[in-house]
């Protein structure tokens, strides 16, 4: 079991903080959604958790250990990452990309064994990407690449996983598949997962806790019902009158009415 903890963390680029006072945990079995307007720093938090950037202040703990004391190789065995549509070399096949998820488990000079290929294949089957195994990246759509990156993080066999907009390029069917899979893994394998998600409705339906980021701080932290309220959505996104209850499960849903002039001009999204 692994726990991600942020304790009063400030993060930024070139010593200028973008985010401060970040304190929250991701517990085993949790799927925590990071929500917030464009540019609010969701990806920055993920980059700090993967040690691409170092916090300017405060501490991040993974499995009770301070992040900076964990070597890069160890970290890659503990924490899988699904980046947001990165550039991938177009000559690689789908299988080769997913197989790279095994790198953390190979020695520096080791080569893949049959077991690694088998785990890779399973990850591709689970994410419905097995038919992409032989195709090259250059011929794939954004959504297909996105699914491959999720498969790669699964092949990494970590106990915690971070996803940066995992559903951004997927159609509604794939969005449901991907998030259900992640939720299932969290529950069954007791993984700790955190996903930056743009779509408030998906966040509300699949995450058990949400962290709403705005103005460089955590605006609200709690269950979907606590975070996605008409008040909060108006304050953070400037959108009026759009939060309702899901008719089947009562979770908050955000609906847009195109005929009403929403207060976008007056938006204060920090």
Partner 1 sequence: MKGQLPADDNRPAGTVVDRKTASPWSAHLVPWRSRITAIIVLTVVVLVVAAVATTIGSVSIPITDAIKVVLDRLPFIDFTPTWANGTGIIIADIRLPRVILAGLVGAALATAGATYQGLFRNPLADPYLIGVAQGASLGAVAGFVLPISASFLGVGIIPIFAFAGGLISMVIVYLLARQGKSLPVTTLILAGVALSALLSSVVSYLVISSGDKMHSILFWLMGSFSLSQWSDVRMVLPYIIVGTGIILLYARSLNVMQLDEEQAQQLGINVERMKIILLAAATLITAAAVSFVGTIGFVGIIIPHAVRLIWGADHRFLLPLSVLCGAIFMILADLISRTILAPTEIPVGVVTAIFGAPFFLYLLRRRKKVIF
| Residue 222 interacting with partner 1 (CB under 8 A) | no
Q: Which is nearer to partner 1, 126 or 267 (CB)?
A: 126
| Residue 69 interacting with partner 1 (CB under 8 A) | no
Q: What are the E-state strand segments in 56-131?
A: 57-62, 65-66, 79-82
Helix axes 142-155, 172-188, angle to 10 degrees: 10
| Residue 118 interacting with partner 1 (CB under 8 A) | yes
Stretch that binds partner 1, among 121-129, 217-225, 233-241, 251-259 (CB under 8 A): 121-129
Closest C-alpha among 2, 52, 6, 11 to residue 30: 2
Residue 250 CB, nearest approach to partner 1 (Å): 26
Applying CB under 8 A, which of residues 1, 13, 180, 245 lies at the interface with partner 1? Answer: 180
The token duo for 126 is 């689970």
Altogether, the residues listed in the chain come to a count of 270
How many residues sit close enough to partner 1 to count as binding (CB under 8 A)?
Answer: 54
Applying CB under 8 A, which of residues 29, 58, 128, 215 lies at the interface with partner 1? Answer: 128
Q: Which is nearer to partner 1, 16 or 72 (CB)?
A: 72
| Residue 125 interacting with partner 1 (CB under 8 A) | yes
> The tokens 């108006």 sit on which residue?
234
CA dist list (Å): 74 to 23, 43, 186, 189? 24, 22, 21, 20
Q: Is 75 helix (H, G, I), strand (E, B) or coil?
A: helix
Phi, psi of 211 (to 5 degrees): -120, 115
* Site pattern 92..111 for partner 1 (x: CB under 8 A): xx-xxx-xxx-xx-x-xxxx
Q: Which is nearer to partner 1, 21 or 63 (CB)?
A: 63
| Residue 130 interacting with partner 1 (CB under 8 A) | yes
Q: What are the E-state strand segments in the chain?
A: 4-13, 16-26, 31-35, 57-62, 65-66, 79-82, 160-164, 192-196, 209-214, 217-222, 243-245, 252-254
Residue 262 CB, nearest approach to partner 1 (Å): 36
Q: For residues 79 and 101, what is the distance between their CA atoms, to the nearest angstrom?
A: 11
Footprint on this chain of partner 1 (rule: CB under 8 A): 47, 50-52, 71-73, 75-77, 79-81, 83, 86-93, 95-97, 99-101, 103-104, 106, 108-112, 114, 117-118, 120-122, 125-126, 128, 130, 133-134, 136, 138, 156, 177, 180-181
């Amino acid at each position: 079991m692994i726990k991600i903890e942020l304790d009063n963390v400030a993060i930024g680029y070139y010593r200028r903080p973008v985010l401060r006072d970040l304190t929250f945990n991701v517990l085993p079995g949790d799927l925590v959604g990071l929500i917030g307007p464009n540019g609010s720093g969701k990806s920055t938090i993920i980059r700090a958790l993967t040690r691409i950037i170092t916090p300017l202040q405060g501490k991040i703990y993974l499995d009770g250990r301070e992040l900076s004391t964990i070597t890069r190789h160890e970290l890659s065995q503990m924490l899988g990452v699904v980046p947001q549509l990165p550039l991938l070399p177009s000559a690689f096949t789908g299988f080769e990309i997913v197989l790279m998820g095994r790198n953390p488990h190979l020695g520096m000079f080791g080569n893949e064994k049959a077991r690694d290929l088998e785990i890779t294949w399973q990850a591709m089957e689970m994410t419905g990407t097995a038919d992409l195994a032989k195709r090259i990246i250059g011929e794939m759509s954004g959504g297909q690449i996105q699914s491959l990156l999720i498969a790669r993080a699964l092949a990494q066999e970590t106990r915690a996983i971070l996803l940066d907009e995992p559903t951004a390029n997927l159609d509604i069917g794939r969005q449901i598949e991907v998030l259900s899979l992640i939720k299932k893994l969290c529950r069954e394998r007791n993984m700790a997962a955190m996903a930056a998600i743009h779509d408030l409705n998906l966040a509300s339906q699949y995450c058990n806790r949400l962290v709403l980021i705005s103005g460089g701080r955590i605006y609200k932290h709690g269950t979907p019902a606590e975070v996605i309220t008409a008040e909060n959505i108006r304050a953070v996104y400037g959108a009026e009158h759009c939060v309702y209850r899901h008719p089947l499960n009562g979770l908050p849903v955000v609906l847009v009415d195109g005929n009403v002039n929403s207060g976008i001009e007056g938006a204060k999204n920090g």
